[in-house]
Amino acid sequence: TKVDRRQARKVSRIRIDLEFQSWSGLRRRPGALATIGIREAHVYCEIHPCTVDLDFIKNFGAKGIVLSGSPFSVHQEYAPLVSPGVFELGLPVLGICYGMQLITHLLGGRVARADEREYGRAHIHIDVCEGVLAPFAGNFNQEVWMSHGDRIEAMPPGFERMAWSDNSPFAAIYH
């Protein structure tokens, strides 16, 4: 569904998707998929690099930030990072894949190499059907797409688990 930019702004103001760009120049698939989903919900969304200035985000009028995927591990030397100031803007931040691992890493949790890489179909088991998982109330086992070699082993302080998979004790978390 194509969303008219002017109409989307009227419906739900603005979001920013901070895309993690890889050194290999790969197309931003996770960010593009997230953007499509957000726009299909009639929310205006733009993709910006993770190096975007915090003043730009403030002046842009963002109502939320999505930190999306990357082929990197948060432990790699040239892993894409965001300024920790992103978490002090008073905006909701949604982390998808690498984005969730980055949030965990920057806010005091622990991310480590998984024993088994998850790629493709996986099943998550939902503990809390609230927020972004509210549509799954009553259906606590969901088929999803996973693509990562790391996993969260300890959540940052103040976070709680929403879902887990056989390979990942924290497949979805919230604060």
Position 122 pLDDT exceeds 50? yes
Contacts for 151 with CB less than 8 Å, ≥ 6 apart: 101, 111, 112, 114, 167, 168, 169, 170
Which helix (H) or strand (E) segment holds residue 29: the answer is helix 29-40
* 21-25, 65-69, 135-139, 165-169: least confidently modelled range: 21-25
Q: How far apart are CA 54 and CA 65, in angstroms?
A: 12
Tell me the per-residue pLDDT of 2-31, one tens digit each, with 9 for 90 and over.
444 444 443 333 344 444 443 333 344 556
The pLDDT, as a whole number, for residue 152 is 94
* Beta strand segments in 30-140, E: 44-49, 62-67, 93-95, 110-126
Mean pLDDT, rounded, for 132-151:
82
Nearest by Cα to 21 from 89, 88, 98, 95: 98
The pLDDT, as a whole number, for residue 167 is 86
Nearest by Cα to 16 from 40, 54, 27: 54
Tell me the per-residue pLDDT of 69-121, one tens digit each, with 9 for 90 and over.
778 889 988 888 889 999 999 998 888 888 899 999 999 999 998 877 777 78
Q: Which residue is listed with tokens 């985000």?
A: 57
